[in-house]
Amino acid sequence: MDSLVVGPGALGLLFAARLRALGNVTLVGRKSGLQQSQVQWQDGTLSTLVLPQQGPGEALPEPLDLVLVTTKAGDTLQALSLLLPALPQSVPVLLMQNGMGSQQTVARAFPGHCLLAATTTEGANRPAPDRVLHAGHGETCLGPLTPSAASLAPWVAQKLRQAGFYSRTSHPIEQDLWGKLAVNAGINAFTALLDCPNGVLPEQPDFQQRITPLCREIAAVAQAEGVSLQAEALHQQILTVCARTAGNISSMLQDHRAGRSTEIDYINGYIAQCARAHGLAAPVNQALFEGVKQLHS
């Protein structure tokens, strides 16, 4: 059975390359033209990925058993608005975006579809447009967003395992999405504002001054959303991720440097918006959100 990967960035190409071993894979991107890509695995093996490419408005290949969506959070609804009306509602659609808010918007727009969300720590980067590097093995957690997806979640996790990704189901997936959101909220905006790799962040006075109140805000908002998250544990986790990914340029800093719009609306912006909905104050999240918006303007 065939898969469709929407959003041929580094992560999309990485998953496409592994799924290719299980069946045909078609890539859907805004711009076509990528004929082939070299995928280099962690063990140094290099393989050439040649996939059919199509634009979002074209007819879908058949039969499809999985749609994987790796678009930027801000592009997801628009990309799926063109695709989902043409897709049988029973085909599982796995959303893999940074932050939160975009997955819930898609689920509200297409409640009859079999929608799942995932968070992954697989590392991929793209040193050149036609080159993808599997930078580090991670874990992919996935779970249902719409009721019809609940029974298919184990099957999707198994398919990803067969493709070579360590993956498991999680219910409710919101707990895992919040866990990743909270870590990104403590790293990404700071790296964009301070223009530094993740590993340099803990030495920065601005980060040192704001990280404790930021973690408290995030934990309070998470709790109001029914998610259990401890401020001190989060602080520790952020420092651990900074150390583990010391040389990384965060996705937000990469977007900013490349002049692309960032995912700040779905990270600190999402937390600030949830805080308002619960009548809570989130001044540090709000300041980081506004700071990154200003960078862009």
Question: What are the residue numbers of the active site?
Answer: 180
Among residues 25, 96, 100, 187, the one that binds ligand KPL under rule CB under 6 A: 187
Binding mask 198-217 for ligand KPL (x = CB under 6 A): x-------------------
Using the minimum distance from each CB to ligand KPL, give the nearer residue, 25 or 96.
96
User: How many CB atoms are closer than 10 A to CB 172?
Assistant: 13
Burial 205-230 (b: 16+ CB within 10 A, else e): eebeebbeebbbbbbbbbeebebebe
Can residue 268 be called a binding residue for ligand KPL (CB under 6 A)? no
Using the minimum distance from each CB to ligand KPL, give the nearer residue, 169 or 248.
248
Can residue 192 be called a binding residue for ligand KPL (CB under 6 A)? no
Can residue 98 be called a binding residue for ligand KPL (CB under 6 A)? yes
- Under rule CB under 6 A, which residues in 61-90 are in contact with ligand KPL? none
Using the minimum distance from each CB to ligand KPL, give the nearer residue, 245 or 286.
245
Least Å from the CB of residue 61 to ligand KPL: 30
Among residues 70, 140, 251, 285, the one that binds ligand KPL under rule CB under 6 A: 251
Can the peptide bond before residue 172 be classed as cis, meaning omega within 30 degrees of 0? yes
Using the minimum distance from each CB to ligand KPL, give the nearer residue, 76 or 184.
184
Can residue 167 be called a binding residue for ligand KPL (CB under 6 A)? no
Q: How far apart are CA 224 and CA 205, in angstroms?
A: 30
CB 246 within 8 A of CB 276: no
Least Å from the CB of residue 184 to ligand KPL: 5
Count, residues near ligand KPL per rule CB under 6 A? 11
The structure tokens 């498991």 sit at 168
Q: Within a 13 Å sphere around the CA of 188, how many CA atoms are in the beta-carbon half?
A: 25
Among residues 120, 184, 268, 273, the one that binds ligand KPL under rule CB under 6 A: 184
Least Å from the CB of residue 240 to ligand KPL: 10
Mutual angle of helices 205-224 and 173-194, in 10-degree steps:
160
| CA 40-45-48 angle, 5° bins | 60
Site stretch for ligand KPL (CB under 6 A), options 18-26, 69-77, 112-120, 247-255: 247-255
Tokens of 127: 């040193």
Among residues 248, 262, 268, 273, the one that binds ligand KPL under rule CB under 6 A: 248
- The secondary structure of 177-208 as a DSSP string is HHHHHHHHHHHHHHHHHHT--GGGGGG-HHHH
Q: How far apart are CA 127 and CA 131, in angstroms?
A: 6
Can residue 241 be called a binding residue for ligand KPL (CB under 6 A)? yes
Site stretch for ligand KPL (CB under 6 A), options 36-44, 124-132, 145-153, 243-251: 243-251
Any idea what DSSP says for residue 32? Answer: -
Q: How far apart are CA 235 and CA 204, in angstroms?
A: 15
Using the minimum distance from each CB to ligand KPL, give the nearer residue, 92 or 186.
186
Q: How far apart are CA 25 and CA 39, in angstroms?
A: 15
Site stretch for ligand KPL (CB under 6 A), options 79-87, 142-150, 179-187, 226-234: 179-187
Residue ranges binding ligand KPL (CB under 6 A): 98, 183-184, 187-188, 198, 241, 245, 248, 250-251
